[in-house]
Amino acid sequence: MLVSLGCLHLAGGPYSLMQVYAWAGMLVNYSKTEGLLQGAKDTFSGEKPCELCCKIAEARKDDPKGKETPLPLPSLGKFLQDFVAVDLPLLSPPRSTAYLQPAFPGRCELERILRIAPALPPPKQLA
């Protein structure tokens, strides 16, 4: 919930939430008369704003937070100095090591039983 609120604040705060509400209402109203595709085009083109969209645009202009100057971006030299590796690490291929296979009790006995050939001819009880 906190991450969602943070994303909402970064996207424009309550104005973006109101704009989504306005777009949903416009999409529903325009789709009733002109169809869904044309309604979506009219909603998001900006040529036919609704009354709520106009009020939101006026409120954004009058908002003192919107008039703040953006922070200056760091210079490219500082960026390269801080984030680009100067020395590339050398990686060696992994070493192969021999490992012991685990031994399970009774495994040899099972292999011996499986290697025994079946009796010829089959027993009379099974025939």
CA distance between the termini of the chain: 72
Q: What is the CA radius of gyration of the chain?
A: 36
Question: Given a cut of 70, is residue 105 above it in pLDDT?
Answer: no
Q: State which residues form the domain around 28.
A: 13-68
Least trusted range by pLDDT, from 6-10, 31-35, 83-87? 83-87
Question: Given a cut of 60, is residue 86 above it in pLDDT?
Answer: yes
pTM for the full predicted model: 0.46
pLDDT in tens, 36-80: 888 888 888 888 888 998 998 888 888 766 555 555 655 656 655
Q: From 48, 57, 46, 44, select the one nearest 18 (Cα to Cα).
A: 57
Residue 89 domain-assigned (yes or no): no
Q: How many domains does the chain have?
A: 1
Residue 31 neighbours by CB under 8 Å, 6+ apart:
39, 40
Residue 40 domain-assigned (yes or no): yes
Residue 91: CB atoms within 10 A of its CB come to: 6
pLDDT value at residue 11: 73
Residue 104 domain-assigned (yes or no): no
pLDDT value at residue 63: 74
Residue 39 domain-assigned (yes or no): yes
Residue 37 domain-assigned (yes or no): yes
